[in-house]
Amino acid sequence: MSAPWLTILWLAPAVGALAVLAVPNTRPDVAKWLALVVSLVVFGLSLGLAVGFDADGARYQFVEDLSWIPALGTRYALGLDGIGLVLVLLTAVLLPILILAGWGDADHSGSLDHAGGRRQKGPHIYLALMLSVEAMVLMSFVALDILLFYIFFEAMLIPMYFLIGGFGRQQGVDRSRAAVKFLLYNLFGGLIMLAAVIGLYVVTARSELGENGAGTFDLRAIVDAVSAGELDAGSGLIRMLFLGFMFAFAVKAPLWPFHSWLPDAAVSATPASAVLMMAVVDKVGTFAMLRYCLQLFPDASRYFAPLIATLAVIGIVYGAILAIGQTDVMRLIAYTSISHFGFIILGIFALTSQGQTGSTLYMVNHGISTAALFLVAGFLVSRRGSRLIADYGGVQKIAPLLAGTFLIAGLATLSLPGLAPFISEFLVLIGTFTRYPVAAIAAASALVLSAIYILWTYQRMMGGPPRPVGEGPGAAARPMRDLHGRELAVVAPLVALLVVFGVYPKPLLDVIDPAVGHTMSTIDERDPAPTVPLPDGGPP
């Protein structure tokens, strides 16, 4: 029997979080280094899984399947497919980088006590929360039991709530309001999903899957039953169950018009926490659309696909337009993520192999590019103490490395050819055009809009004469410093990945393509045949 590698994968950061919590408040450096080592161990485990994964082998590999709650028909079932693998790798790559980026984030956090002093929370709590989120996200990517997935899908909201509300950059009511808004939106979506999960359980109990009146939460068994037409449920009920799952994932993703919690949460959190939320946690929503919505409810997915594609296109254009009008650089980046999530969801519900491959690749590339742009913007804000674009100018003359990395990350965000997001966005547009040409053309307009908000922002912040840090006669004597060692260690791997995957995405596509093929086969969907009208007006 092989080792339970997937259990070890998610337990490592969970146990690491407990170990970090046990570090005394008087030893913050020990807590930081311990958290970094744990995250690197998880990264090593993920690389081992990638090496051992056979792209041409079984759909789910490293499978673990144990009895958990027999009375409910739920099992401790884990398995990894190609889509889950690339997202596991994304999570494992980003966590060490985020810990380094947020090395000093918790050092001065805390609330004012009755004497006016600041109560120190300590970095050990902050780092333990980060590792807890990683553990729950990893479990979400490998769970093959629907109830098991749901538990961790909801549980990850708690540490994220405390990361936003307890350690955010904004003080007082602003970050508390943003944290509560984040929690309420996602909890409400989760409650709707819980009703759908229960409804699906009842449906399985009525079918041949049920044993002694009990249903099942086994994803593989339910998907096989759906493919064989063995579920005893009408189309109306199936569509309601689909909407219950889809609503929760649309809030998490976030899909317009369920997006409004994201900008406030992203601005209120520390840059590292905001990246954890946008680049990692929110991917659970789009991943779940592929794994659960499409496979459990293929007919309902086809029925609602035009509506969801329309909402995705609205989100693409809406996010890009609002990004242009932002005066806050961090809020601008948050709105760009709303636009990018629209592309991801559009590719999923185009129901084509190119669209879904592009969407999966986009999840990875968006995580890398958003991490680079948001973290570099965070370094800028930490130097000047302002998020307002108008407070910057001439950075490229006094901090060329800082300005250069901001430019590369920005160009990746607008999907410049040669950088990683271009391939994924191109695949999404091609896959969408064959099914919904009008939606693809409308979505392509965001390419122009993204060029406006990125290049205009760069011109205002990095070009022109240098602006001094601070005010008063001595301000000019304190120029903005360039990236230093730790910051370079944060930015360099992200820039390298943007370039490598922009030129050579084959390692990712080799594991994504077979998984997408399995999904398309499971839902009995085929790519539309291309049609080209003949010049004489005859039939294509």
**pLDDT by residue, tens only, the chain of 540 residues:** 478 999 999 999 999 999 998 888 878 888 889 999 999 999 999 999 999 999 888 889 999 989 888 877 788 999 999 999 999 999 999 999 999 888 877 665 444 333 334 444 678 888 999 999 999 999 999 999 999 999 999 999 999 998 888 777 654 447 788 888 888 888 999 899 999 999 988 888 877 666 666 778 888 888 888 887 777 778 888 899 999 999 999 999 888 888 888 888 888 888 888 899 888 998 999 999 999 999 999 989 999 999 999 999 999 999 889 989 888 888 898 899 898 999 999 999 998 999 999 999 999 999 999 999 999 988 888 888 778 888 888 888 888 888 889 999 999 988 889 999 999 999 999 999 988 899 999 998 888 888 888 888 888 888 877 766 554 444 443 567 888 888 888 999 999 999 999 999 999 999 999 999 888 888 877 878 766 565 665 555
**509 within 8 A of 353, measured Cβ to Cβ:** no
- H/E stretch holding 474 reads none
For the record, the structure tokens of 33 come out as 């280094």
Residue spans of beta strands (DSSP E) within 465-533 = none
Report how far residue 100's alpha carbon sits from residue 402's, in angstroms, rounded to the nearest whole number: 17
What pLDDT was estimated at residue 121?
A: 60
Query: Tokens representing 538?
Result: 């005859």
Exposure on the CB side of residue 324, measured as CA atoms within 13 A: 13
Q: What pLDDT score was predicted for residue 534?
A: 57
Residue 339 and residue 319 in contact, taking contact as beta carbons nearer than 8 Å: yes
Give backbone dihedrals phi and psi of 357, rounded to 5 degrees, phi first: -65, -45
* Cβ neighbourhood burial of 87 (10 Å; 0-12, 13-18, 19+): buried
Task: State how far the Cα of 482 lies from the Cα of 398, in Å rounded to an integer.
Answer: 7
State how far the alpha carbon of 433 is from the alpha carbons of 151, 429, 515, in Å.
37, 6, 22
Contact 106, 122 (CB under 8 A): yes
Tell me how far CA of residue 413 lies from CA of 433, 455, 498, in angstroms: 22, 11, 10
**Rounded Cα gap, residues 419 and 121, in angstroms:** 40
Cis before 257 (ω within 30): yes
Q: pLDDT value at position 115? A: 38
HSE on the CB side for 444, CA within 13 Å?
Answer: 13
Using CB atoms within 10 Å of the CB of residue 451, give its burial: 0 to 12 exposed, 13 to 18 middle, 19+ buried. Answer: middle
**In this structure, what DSSP letter does residue 229 have?**
T
Query: Cα–Cα distance between 144 and 78 in angstroms, integer?
Result: 5
pLDDT value, residue 475: 44
Tokens read off for 521: 């086969």
The answer to whether the beta carbons of residues 102 and 82 sit under 8 Å apart is no
Two structure tokens written together for 365: 């590339």
